[in-house]
Structure 1
Amino acid sequence: MYFYEYKEDESGISIYIVDIEAHPESNPTISRPKKYLGIGRMMIAFGIHLSIDASLGGIVTFAAKTDELLEHYIKDFGAIPIAQPMSGGPKLLMIADESAQEIFSTYLS
């Protein structure tokens, strides 16, 4: 079973998605073809929904665990790199504005 955690970030300006993890059957490094599609995008859409409900404007933040994921989130989700808290560690990303609206409206409008 998989659990996901969403929380207001320390600065109070976004919802932070603690882990974005693919189910093993949707992870292309484990299972081909992928059994499930769009899980990460749906998790982000739900975070955007929580952000809107918390009056945070639909802004979500999360960490990319690999450079490949970083590029995927930027290219496919419109994410913007915002910080790297530790040298060599995960890179933080933000989704806001038009990108957040597009993802939100795909699933939750």
Structure 2
Amino acid sequence: MMQVYIDDELVTLTPEDAALWQAAASAALLPDKITRTQGLLALLERDPPITEAQILAFIATIEPEIERERVRILFANPDWRPNDPLWSQHCATFGLTSADVGDLFRHAATL
């Protein structure tokens, strides 16, 4: 039997409730990284979808050139990390909040 604290009270969970608790806890965790492929696929599943071409077109507009190159390198990286400045500095361009980015990473990790 699994025991957890709920509102400062130790509660013993049934096996079914323990499974639900663990599933919810896992879903809340943000993965350390996802692959670029997972990220691109997750972006395509958004409503509206965000395509790689849209992102590349945006990157081409970034000034100064050194910042553009930094963002291009981060975007091309085979591993994407949710704490990369790419997300915090540029996600709003595509209508994404920091919560949306977290959801995107959690979903991408399942693909």
- Normalization by structure 2: what TM-score? 0.23
Decide which structure has the larger Cα Rg and report it.
2
Greater helix fraction, Structure 1 or Structure 2: 2
Query: Which structure ranks higher in relative contact order (CA pairs < 8 Å, sequence separation ≥ 6)?
Result: 2
- Normalization by structure 1: what TM-score? 0.24
